[in-house]
Amino acid sequence: MPEVPVFLSTKAHSPSPLTSLSEEEQLFYSTVRRFAEETIAPAVRKMDDDQQMAPGLVQKLAELGLMGIEVPEALGGAGGSFFDAVLAIEAISQVDPGVAVLVDVHNSLVVNAIRRWATEDQRGHWLPRLAEGTVGAYALSEAGAGSDAFALQTRAEKVDGGYRLSGRKLWISNAKEAGLFLVFATLDPTAGYRGITAFFVEKGTPGFTVGRKEDKMGIRASSTCELLLDGCEVPAANLLGEEGKGYKIAIETLNEGRIGIGAQMLGLAGGAWAHAAKYAKERKQFGKAITEFQAVQFSLAEMATEIEAAKLLVYNAARLKDAGQPYVREAAMCKLFASQVAESVASKCVEVFGGNGFVRDYPAEKFYRDAKIGKIYEGTSNMQLMTIAKQVL
């Protein structure tokens, strides 16, 4: 066992230079990566064991501007682009994908939904708070509404001055840390998906409870909880967008979110590769480093090639989104492929580490556990294939 936990030894970078980035983007990426190495890396093992974020970490993310990447500077944010958010998610994921998903959901789903659909008053109220460190959560999924995302049973009914929400949400990322929840409920069940409406619900609202936290295989620093709404009343001002437009809000934000998950899986793969390459140079068998064996060289070369291909897909989808060009197909492709690459590279990383890859003293097994979720949340791989097929056939 090494004297220092290997989670602290993450200085190796991704297998290829960031040649597709501007100088400003490279500086931003390097700043976030350095923050991840210096601030997040020392806490990775404990966060994984404890299944929670390190105390004060969210506030440190906010101080670096990572909780309001696309929030305008006038509202207290960094005034960056969606591509900046993708770079931040990738950089953090090379160290801990569990922390990265908090940043991803908060920015790509919650902040972007508010920027796109909220009123000016709502943006002025919520965006500064989110940029300052109030965590956002996105509450769409239910027991019977996973891939069939709009088979919602959570009900909303009009009452004097607002709405009353009742139902149960499952698998809600950021739920434990969040102060603001975007909750999707059916206002008119007879209207099908056209009855779905989105609401702001603040933590502490009477009738709203964060329930059981899931004991997960991977990304364990990230909380995933059920939400219970029992006659939870919110004012009319907490309606996001228009009544019956919740499905449109969900579709648009999830398309963006899939690029974020692609970036998370890209970063995970890059982190696993960096650890595998570093270990292979240090590990000796038969009197020489295992990187001198062609089989190991070929494995690392294949991993690097897969990562580079995933990077091009993720970056292209993010660039298209920022340019206002169609990107639904590209978002689905990058999430599908990057999640496949993450699982493949993480598995090969375990193999490079050999027996040490199977024990928790080394980072390989955590990357392997973290990788699996990429094919499941924000649209399973089969759902991505359906989307791609509709776009290309």
| Catalytic residue flag (residue 378) | yes
Of the candidates 70, 142, 256, 378, the residue annotated as catalytic is 378
Q: Which of 373, 262, 370 is nearest to 311 (CA)?
A: 262
Q: Which of 264, 271, 337 is nearest to 107 (CA)?
A: 264
Write down the residue that tokens 């919650």 correspond to. Answer: 110
Quick check: 154 and 184 in contact, CB under 8 A?
Answer: yes
Strand pairing of 135-139 and 178-186?
Answer: parallel
Quick check: 353 and 362 in contact, CB under 8 A?
Answer: yes
Active site residues: 378
